[in-house]
DNA sequence: ACATGAATATTGGAT
DNA sequence: ATCCAATTTTCATGT
């Protein structure tokens, strides 16, 4: 996996390394050291000379990491064109993207480490606890929202957005359900209120609105009540505790 | 800046390296090679054995990068507790966070590269083109929204959120302005509509609503019109072209 | 290409 | 601690 490794290269050695590895393709490039970074595109930024880590992946994504924080200081999700120059004895890398037109320019002042690796194809990855998974589970078992609930539609489009779950309750009333995988905020309440109003106008009868989430903020619950809407607690992941005998979201179908 | 560098270390060497560098503190650790990664917390995920890059920063942030993509495959913005074990000849790192309770577990199967670096303090960084900057510019020169506009308040709080700019027009009518630094969507329109309705209820007179953004989606403009609200084009960054003689957002005060 | 909404969103600010 | 809104959000998905 390790292809090349330079320890404190000078500008010339770094330039040769970058030229070779970029031409070869399929490389993960890591460069750590003192750099200056400029960005111009949707916004514009300038980073003074400091210690950064540049990571360039085979898909053309680029990120510059500062000493702190999970998010890169500068980044580019894709680059359409990469160029290298020598500017006054410094290696300068310019990564451009066509649409939107953006540019990240990295000037290497003092490089501690430059590594080229050739990673294999991406391996398998599974994620549990997404909103999509909640939606599938509740589609299979709508009675987990309330007994007698009969599902009519999933992701029902309206002109103010898609309704997560659309159903009829045991008394024959229509129910709009808005799902959130994490704590719901007042935005979710407003989203639900818009759907309920729109459906209610369309069918000419009162429609219930249910916010289904593991929890909600206090202001969200207040607003929900004021608007005559309802909250139903639904977990996104099974409990850490041993699974009990009650039927739940996460039982096999 | 470079403190230590291991080339294809075995499990024992990697364990010693990690113990030392974690104890020393203030280190940027990069480990590239074959790993298996588990995450459990707000969601849960499992990554099969594959080539990944682990980056651990002095602030306790951790990210595991896959061969593609700008976003890490797994991450943790902060870690409260880091532990190392040897499990069947493999080094295993467990990073835990207390609130919310989350855990990332990385098992190192075959390590290509392990590097420890000691970056200096973060250097200066400036970003232009944020919504906050637009707000400051328009606060200084509200006439850029329309002639005769008199600013009454900035970030005026309501029970449905903060109003970006609150003003009175040359005819004495109240105006609520919602700012977006990039293309505005129907969500921004709904946000504006909520503010306008709330203020209008509170003062008992009609209130204008203006969406100020560089552009807006077609559905957003349609909804805006249907709700009797207005659009005003405002750029977030100066033009690429030479600055002309007209007064603009980006002139010095 | 455009619009929409989720995300383990993260981050910073206000209360 | 909680809540809120911005973000160069990125990303997948549907039209």
Nearest chain A residue to B186 by CA distance is A160
* Sign (positive or negative) of CA dihedral B128, B175, B145, B153: negative
A113 contacts B5? CB cut-off 8 A:
yes
Q: From CA B174, how far away is CA A131, in angstroms rounded?
A: 41
Parallel/antiparallel/unpaired status of strands A207-213 and A174-179: parallel
A119 contacts B51? CB cut-off 8 A:
yes
Q: From CA B32, how far away is CA A57, in angstroms rounded?
A: 13
Confidence (pLDDT) at B100: 94
CA A114 from chain centre, in angstroms, equals 29
Tens digits of residue pLDDT in B188-205: 999 999 999 999 988 999
Nearest chain A residue to B40 by CA distance is A128
Q: From CA A185, how far away is CA A214, in angstroms rounded?
A: 12
- The pTM for the full model equals 0.92
Confidence (pLDDT) at B242: 38
Say which residues have a Cβ less than 8 Å from residue B211's Cβ, sequence separation at least 6: B177, B178, B180, B184, B188, B189, B192, B220, B224, B229, B230, B231, B232
* CB burial of residue A240 (10 Å; 0-12, 13-18, 19+): exposed
pLDDT at B251 over 80: no
Separation between the CA of B116 and the C1’ of C12 (whole angstroms): 30
3-class DSSP state of A34: strand
pLDDT tens series, chain A, 253 aa? 999 999 999 999 999 999 999 999 999 999 999 999 999 999 999 999 999 999 999 999 999 999 999 999 999 999 999 999 999 899 999 999 999 999 999 999 999 999 999 999 889 999 999 999 999 999 999 999 999 999 999 999 888 788 999 999 999 999 999 999 999 999 999 999 999 999 999 999 999 999 999 999 999 999 999 999 999 999 988 754 434 445 555 554 4
Total number of residues shown for chain A? 253
Q: From CA B212, how far away is CA B233, in angstroms rounded?
A: 6
Residue B29: name the closest of B65, B54, B66 by CA.
B54
CA distance B170 to chain A (A): 33
CA A161 from chain centre, in angstroms, equals 20
A124 contacts B67? CB cut-off 8 A:
no
3-class DSSP state of A92: strand
φ, ψ dihedrals at B240, nearest 5°: -65, -35
Tens digits of residue pLDDT in B149-184: 999 999 998 877 789 999 999 999 999 999 999 999
Q: What's the average model confidence in pLDDT over B22-42?
A: 96
* Sign (positive or negative) of CA dihedral A239, A243, A246, A251: positive
- Protein-proximal nucleotides of chain C (any atom < 7 Å from a CB): 1-12, 15
Confidence (pLDDT) at B236: 85
Q: From CA A16, how far away is CA A110, in angstroms rounded?
A: 15
Q: Give the nearest partner residue to B123 out of A45, A47, A161, using CB atoms.
A: A47
């Amino acid at each position: 996996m390790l292809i090349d490794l330079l320890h404190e290269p000078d500008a010339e050695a770094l330039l040769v390394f970058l030229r070779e590895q970029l031409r070869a393709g399929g490389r993960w490039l890591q460069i750590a050291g003192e750099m200056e970074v400029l960005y111009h595109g949707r916004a514009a930024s300038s980073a003074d000379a400091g210690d950064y880590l540049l990571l360039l992946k085979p898909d053309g994504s680029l990120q510059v990491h500062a000493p702190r924080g999970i998010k890169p200081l500068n980044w580019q999700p894709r680059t359409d064109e990469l160029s290298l120059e020598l500017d006054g004895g410094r290696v300068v890398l310019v990564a451009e993207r066509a649409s939107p037109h953006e540019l990240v320019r990295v000037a290497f002042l003092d490089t501690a480490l430059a590594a080229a690796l050739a990673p294999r194809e991406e391996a398998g990855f599974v994620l549990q606890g997404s909103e999509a998974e909640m939606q599938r589970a509740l589609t299979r078992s709508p009675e987990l929202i309330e007994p007698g609930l009969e599902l009519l539609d999933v992701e029902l489009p309206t002109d103010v957005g898609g309704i997560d779950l659309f159903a009829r309750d045991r008394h024959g009333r229509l129910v709009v359900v808005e799902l959130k995988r994490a704590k719901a905020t007042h935005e979710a309440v407003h989203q639900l209120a818009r759907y309920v109003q729109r459906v209610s106008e369309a069918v000419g009868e009162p429609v219930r609105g249910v916010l289904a989430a593991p929890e909600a903020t206090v202001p969200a619950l207040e607003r929900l009540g004021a608007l005559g809407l309802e909250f139903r607690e639904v977990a996104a992941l099974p409990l850490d505790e041993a699974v009990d005998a009650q039927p739940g979201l996460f039982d096999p179908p």
